[in-house]
A and B are shown apart, each in its own frame.
Chain A
Amino acid sequence: NAGVTQTPKFQVLKTGQSMTLQCAQDMNHNSMYWYRQDPGMGLRLIYYSASEGTTDKGEVPNGYNVSRLNKREFSLRLESAAPSQTSVYFCASSEVMGGPSGTQYFGPGTRLLVL
């Protein structure tokens, strides 16, 4: 099992460019998440998908969109990148959202630099 995979591992963008971060999980999990992690701050939730076919905004959704393509895949899109979006992005999945079975499994992260 690969667990949670993310592509790309590293990306440099210019302000205004767009890109899509890809995430896939092979654990048959129902719930998937996108977080960003900035120095000195905890992980902040951007968007989540509690189950296939649903998506909801998290704490910091502005400037991002998501697509739950199928049960395995959850992508994050930056339509017009801004320097404030320079961060490390983590995708995570869990069997269900919350509760004792809601342990999240994280991908290796995507390091994004916006110039």
Chain B
Amino acid sequence: KNQVEQSPQSLIILEGKNCTLQCNYTVSPFSNLRWYKQDTGRGPVSLTIMTFSENTKSNGRYTATLDADTKQSSLHITASQLSDSASYICVVSEGSGTYKYIFGTGTRLKVLA
């Protein structure tokens, strides 16, 4: 069964610190992987997209990595800010022609001053 698992479920860090969120998937065949940020009470917003051949993709203080061999991705947040407090969702697209999106349950990040 195609699945996307994220860890940790929740995380609390101090402002200015770095953190790394994990995403493991069993989706096959694989098309691409996206990370979304969802602020409380809002819809998710795309941060990055990575295809099979890409290992690293950055968007400001957000850096995503992908290891297609081990089917793992991570999202690294550098010098965290209070505004980084949100849920981060990993979404994998199937490459079978249906192109369905498989969503993880997200990691809830809280950044404290």
Interface positions of A (Cβ within 8 A of B): 4, 40-45, 90, 92, 96-100, 102-109
Contact = CB atoms under 8 A, between A and B. Distances in A.
Interface of B: 4, 31-32, 34, 41-46, 49, 51, 89, 91, 93-95, 98-101, 103-106
Q: Is the interface of A mostly helix, strand, loop or mixed?
A: loop
Given A42-B103, A97-B99, A99-B99, A108 B43 contact: yes
Given A42-B104, A45-B101, A103 B42 contact: no
A102 B49 CA distance: 10
Contact of A104 (B42, B46, B104, B106): B46
A16 B45 CA distance: 34
B19 to A, nearest CB: 21
Contacts of B4: 42
A34 to B, nearest CB: 12
B43 A106 contact: yes
Contacts of B42: 108-109
A52 B21 CA distance: 37
B93 A99 contact: yes
A45 B81 CA distance: 32
Contact of B93 (A40, A92, A98): A98
